[in-house]
Amino acid sequence: MHENMNVAVCAAFEPELLLEQLRLLGTVGKESTAGRTRLALTDADREGRDTVVGWMRELGLAVHVDRIGNLFGVLDGSSSEEAPLMMGSHIDTVRMAGHLDGAYGVLAALAVLRAFRRAGVTPPRSLVAGAFTNEEGVRFQPDMLGSLVTAGGFPLDLALNRLAMDDGARLGDELKRIGYAGEMEPGALRPREYFELHVEQGPVLEDEGRQIGIVEGVQGISWTRVVLSGAANHAGTTPTRLRKDAGYAAGLIITGVRSIAEALETTVGTVGSIGFEPGLINVIPSGAELTVDLRDPDEGRLLEAERRLDELLHEVSIRAHVDVRSERLVHFAPVPFSQELVAMIERLAEERGLSHRRMISGAGHDAQMMARIAGVAMIFVPSAGGVSHSPDERTSDEDLIAGARLLLDAVLQRL
Ligand code: HGY
Ligand code: MN
Ligand code: MN
C-alpha cells in the first residue's frame, strides 16, 4: 500500500479502545472466586462470542461462522481475487483464567481492522479477524480443534461428535445450543498469511527484559487420558498387601511423570486433572482417572517421553495390582513457522526499537494448525511473572500496545 495510507492507518490505531475491550471481555464468565471461565461452547463462551460479534458488527465487518463454530470478521479488500490475510486467536478459556490468553490476539486483530476503517482505507485484499473454537481443549479434545478442522487436520463430523470431558455433551449439539453452528465450510476462508499475537505465558521475555518474542514455532504436545481400576475396600481393615489401590497407583504415575520430565530435561510433564471413585475418606479408591500432558521441542524426545509413560503405566499396574487403561488424546509434533515472516517481524521490531528475541512457544496455539495451510508467524509480549492459565495473568498496557502496533506493522508490510 502507498506510504500515506500506511501512515493514516497507523494514526487511526486506537490502543485505548483495545485495552477497554480486553477489560470488558474479561468480565464475561467472571468467577465469584477468581478469574473468569469461558469453557468452550458453554453459556459463558456464547456470551463472549456475542460480545465479539457485536464489536465486529459495530465495525461494519462481514461476520461469518463456520460449521465448527469458528468466528470471522472480514474487512473486504479492493480485490476479492487475492487470498486474505488473517489474524486471530481464541476467546474460550481454561477454568479461572486470566483475561489475556487468546482474547488479546482476537481483539488486537479487531483493532487492526478498526484502524483501516477509521482511516477510511480499503486494504488491497481482505483482512480477517478470527476466533477459533475450543482452542484450550479442556472440555473437548483435542485442543486447537477449530483451527485443526480448518486446516484439514481433523474430520468435521468426528469433531462435531466429540463428547465433553465434563458433562458428556456432544460438541455439535452444544454449538447448536449456543447458536454458533454456522453454515460456512471450515477452511472456506483460506488466508495466505496468518498472524497471531499472544502473551508469552512463560518467564523468558520478562527474565531477559525484552518487549517482544518473535515466535519461530511451537513445541510438540502429547495428551493421554489414564483410567485406573482397583477395588474399593475398607481403609481400616484392609492390610496393605491385599490392597488394589487406584489412588496409590495414581500417585506413582504423578511422581513418575515428573521423573520422566527431569530425565529428558527439555521435556515438561503435567498431571493436571485427577478424580477418584468413590472419593471418600475411609474407602480405598476403586477407580481413578487422570490426564498426562507431555511437551518437548523435539519430536524424538516427545516420542521417547510417551514411550517411558507407557512403560510407567505398565509397571504401576503390576506394582499396585490395578488395571490401567490409557488413551492418547493428542499428539501434535513440533511446528516450525514461516522463516520469511519471522524475519520480517524481527526487522519490524528492530525498526520500532523494540527489544526482542526469537523463541519457541511452550504453549499450543491455533497458529500451529494454521501453519498447515498458510504462512504463519506469532508475536509474543511478556507475561508478568511468567504466569498464565491463572487469574494472576498480567501484561503491562505498554507491552500490550507495543505488541498490537507491531501486529499492525506486520499487516501493512504484507499488503
Ligand atoms: O495447552 C495449551 O498449550 C493451550 O493453552 N491450549
Ligand atoms: Mn491461548
Ligand atoms: Mn491457553
Tell whether 152 and 299 lie within a shared domain.
no
Q: What are phi and psi of 343, to 5 degrees?
A: -65, -35
Q: What is the pLDDT of residue 32?
A: 74
Say yes or no: 78 and 41 in one domain.
Answer: yes
The single residue listed with the C-alpha cell 512457544 is 361
Mean pLDDT confidence for 132-151: 97
Residues 263 and 365 in one domain: no
Which residue shows C-alpha cell 499396574?
A: 317
pLDDT digits (tens, 9 = 90+) for 259-315: 999 999 999 999 999 999 999 999 999 999 999 999 999 999 999 999 999 999 999
Cα of first residue to Cα of last residue in the chain, in angstroms, is 6
List the domain range (segments joined by +) for residue 140. 2-219+334-414
Atom of ligand 1 nearest to the CA of 143: 6
Q: Which of 308, 332, 356 is the last residue of a domain?
A: 332
Among the listed residues 395, 384, 391, 387, the one whose alpha carbon sits nearest the alpha carbon of residue 34: 391
Ligand 1, atom nearest to 363 Cα: 3
Using 50, 70 and 90 to split pLDDT, how confident is the model at 379? very high
The pLDDT value recorded for residue 80 is 81
Whether residue 205 sits in one domain with residue 173: yes
pTM of the model: 0.96
- Rounded Cα gap, residues 161 and 151, in angstroms: 18
pLDDT, one tens digit per residue, over 205-234 is 999 999 999 999 999 999 999 999 999 999
What does the pLDDT read at residue 407?
A: 98
Element (H, E) at 357: strand 356-361
Question: Looking at ligand 1, which residue's alpha carbon is closest to its atom 4?
Answer: 364
Is the same domain home to 184 and 40?
Answer: yes
Query: Which residue in 216, 214, 68 sits closest to 130, CA to CA?
Result: 68
CB 126 within 8 A of CB 170: no
Burial of 191 (0-12, 13-18, 19+ CB in 10 A): buried
Q: Which protein residues touch ligand 1 with a CB less than 6 Å away?
A: 135-137, 143, 363-364
Q: How confident is the model at residue 83 (pLDDT cuts 50, 70, 90)?
A: very high
Residues 10 and 105 in one domain: yes
Structurally, the chain folds into a number of domains equal to 2
Report the interhelical angle of 43-58 vs 15-25 (nearest 10°).
160
Q: Compute φ and ψ for 354, nearest 5 degrees.
A: -90, 135
Tell me: do 215 and 348 sit in the same domain.
yes
Are 68 and 185 part of one and the same domain?
Answer: yes
Q: Which residues contact 327 (CB under 8 A, 6 or more apart)?
A: 224, 225, 227
Select from 288, 305, 332 the last residue of a domain.
332
> Among residues of the chain, what percentage have pLDDT more than 90?
97
Domain match, 146 and 75 both: yes
| Sequence-separated (6 or more) residues with CB below 8 Å from residue 123 | 1, 75, 77, 78, 85, 116, 415
CATH number at residue 33: 3.40.630.10
In a shared domain, residues 33 and 128: yes
Does pLDDT of 100 surpass 90? yes
Give the C-alpha separation, 143 to 149, whole Å: 11
**How many angstroms is it from 136 CA to the middle of ligand 2?**
7
pLDDT at 31: 76
- Whether pLDDT at 193 is above 90: yes
Asked whether residue 147 falls in the same domain as residue 52, the answer is: yes
C-beta neighbour count of 63 within 10 angstroms: 16
Which pLDDT tens digit goes with each residue over 109-118? 999 999 999 9
**Mean pLDDT of the chain, nearest integer:** 97
Distance 380 CA to ligand 1 centre (A): 15
